Amino acid sequence: MIIETFRYEIGAGIALRLRLEKSPVSHNFWVLKTDEGKVVAERHDLATDKKTGKPLVIGLTGSVNRFYTFTPNEHDARMLGVTGQMIEGRTYIHCRQERHVVFVGPDAAALEKWNTWGSLIPFINSLNIPYPPLGLNLPNRTINSNSGYATGACIMGLEPHYFKSTWNPGRNSLLLPKPQLDLQLSRHRKSPLPPGRSPEPDTPVSELVG
């Protein structure tokens, strides 16, 4: 199986009006595929209305971080070994999207990574971790969808990929400190997380767009 990272461009319409080739702002997410390249599931951290539980287009005052797993066909995904809650029929994937393969290996190894992350989602979602308005908490540390992307990479033991000339606010933050993630994994009888690198400050968008 294949675990791949995709880039969803935020503000593409604004970039077009400014005559930019693309918006530098990114929402990164993970995709699980078969060896033949068929999408099995995709996973996102999305700003969510805390009262209604519905995902939002962008973070608003009072919104929270929530993980979601989307699939084109839940029956097929479960037959292939994917566990946990899934939502059928919704996707952020389109044909011209930037993407990068991060892991290729036996089905069992890919599913172990994917399902280990999935096993922690109910707990992480229950914490109602605040999602900042517009996805930014500058100059303080930002915790947003890219933090969820980095957290998923950490849990799966993979190196998060970031695309060139893009701004990924929140990329150097985890939704939970690594010791807490290790503790939750131990409660699920999983292996501890591999050592991670120290967080670095987010790069201002001005450095990318001049």
pLDDT digits (tens, 9 = 90+) for 90-120: 998 987 888 999 999 999 999 999 999 999 9
**Dihedral-angle region of residue 31 (phi above 0 means left; psi in -120 to 50 means alpha; beta otherwise):** beta
Answer with the residue of higher pLDDT: 19 or 169.
169
Task: Please state the pTM of the whole predicted model.
Answer: 0.82
Residue 14: predicted pLDDT: 43
Whether residue 81 has pLDDT greater than 60: yes
Answer with the residue of higher pLDDT: 53 or 95.
53
Give 10's pLDDT tier (boundaries 50, 70, 90).
Answer: low
> Could you give the CA distance from residue 85 to residue 197 in angstroms, rounded to a whole number?
30
Contact of 116 with 68, CB cutoff 8 Å: no
Residue 84: predicted pLDDT: 94
Give 205's pLDDT tier (boundaries 50, 70, 90).
Answer: very low
pLDDT digits (tens, 9 = 90+) for 126-166: 999 999 887 777 777 778 999 999 999 999 999 999 888 67
Whether residue 19 has pLDDT greater than 90: no
Look up residue 103 and give its two tokens. 């892991």
Average pLDDT, the chain: 82
Most confident range (mean pLDDT) of 72-81, 126-135, 141-150, 194-203 is 72-81
**Amino acid, res. 85:** Q
Residue 202: predicted pLDDT: 39
Residue 189: predicted pLDDT: 57
**Amino acid, res. 17:** R
CA dihedral 132, 117, 30, 4 (to 10 degrees): 150
Domain ranges of the chain: 2-209
